[in-house]
């Protein structure tokens, strides 16, 4: 299926990922990653509710993307983020990262980190918009494709200045993001 025209502004619902979403998440996972996570890995992550937060983005009844966060003391680590290729260029990744970052802050994060493929310039630009800066390289991190990872960090995410940044990112979205059942 072809990508939606840029003029289409879908209403996006972001909600906590549940076991029932894993099949749809795996469909996307197999499209975008050379070595996709397994259903059992997602189920294991979902079971760690005190230190993990996973979300899906829905457009209508369709899962358009997903993202995950792991908390360690006061650092949040973005474990995964992916958008179905047919939904690219609709700000799905921006919406997921916005919810994920706010969840990390709500859970006490003062800094956030992630790894991204060196070749994934689009994702790196998204992360820079959220204040992530490159701090190093993990050689051959993505072994299945012999690619290095750029390590990025965003610091002082618990400060008012960062909250203002998130508000400006949200304000620039072309339509509403509905966040459902943010936390249990």
Instruction: Give the dihedral sign, CA 101/133/156/174.
Output: negative
The one catalytic residue among 115, 141, 147, 170 = 115
- 3-state SS assignment for residue 160: helix
The dihedral built from the CA positions of residue 150, 155, 157 and 163, taken in this order, carries a sign that is negative
Query: Has 115 been annotated as catalytic?
Result: yes
C-alpha span between 63 and 76 (Å, rounded): 24
Which one is catalytic: 54, 55, 66, 127?
A: 127
Using DSSP's 3-state secondary structure scheme, residue 49 falls into: coil
Q: Provide the 8-state DSSP code for 140.
A: E
- Indicate if the alpha-carbon torsion angle 48, 135, 28, 87 is positive or negative: positive
Judge whether 130 and 169 are in contact, CB under 8 Å: yes
Eight-class DSSP state of 78: E
Task: Give the active site residues.
Answer: 115, 127
């Amino acid at each position: 299926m072809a990508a939606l025209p840029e003029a289409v502004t879908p209403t996006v619902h972001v909600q906590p990922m549940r076991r029932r979403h894993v099949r749809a998440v795996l469909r996307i996972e197999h499209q975008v990653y050379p070595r996709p996570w397994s259903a059992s890995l997602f189920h294991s992550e979902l079971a760690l509710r005190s230190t993990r937060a996973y979300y899906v983005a829905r457009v209508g009844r369709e899962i358009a993307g997903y993202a995950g966060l792991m908390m360690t003391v006061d650092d949040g680590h973005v474990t995964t983020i992916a958008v179905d290729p047919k939904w690219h260029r609709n700000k799905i990744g921006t919406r997921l990262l916005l919810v994920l970052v706010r969840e990390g802050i709500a859970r006490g994060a003062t800094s956030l980190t992630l790894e991204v493929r060196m070749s994934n310039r689009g994702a790196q630009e998204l992360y820079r918009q959220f204040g992530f800066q490159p701090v190093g390289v993990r050689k051959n991190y993505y072994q299945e494709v012999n690619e290095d990872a750029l390590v990025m960090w965003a610091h002082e995410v618990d400060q008012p200045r960062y909250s203002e940044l998130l508000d400006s990112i949200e304000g620039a979205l072309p339509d509403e993001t509905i966040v459902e059942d943010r936390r249990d």
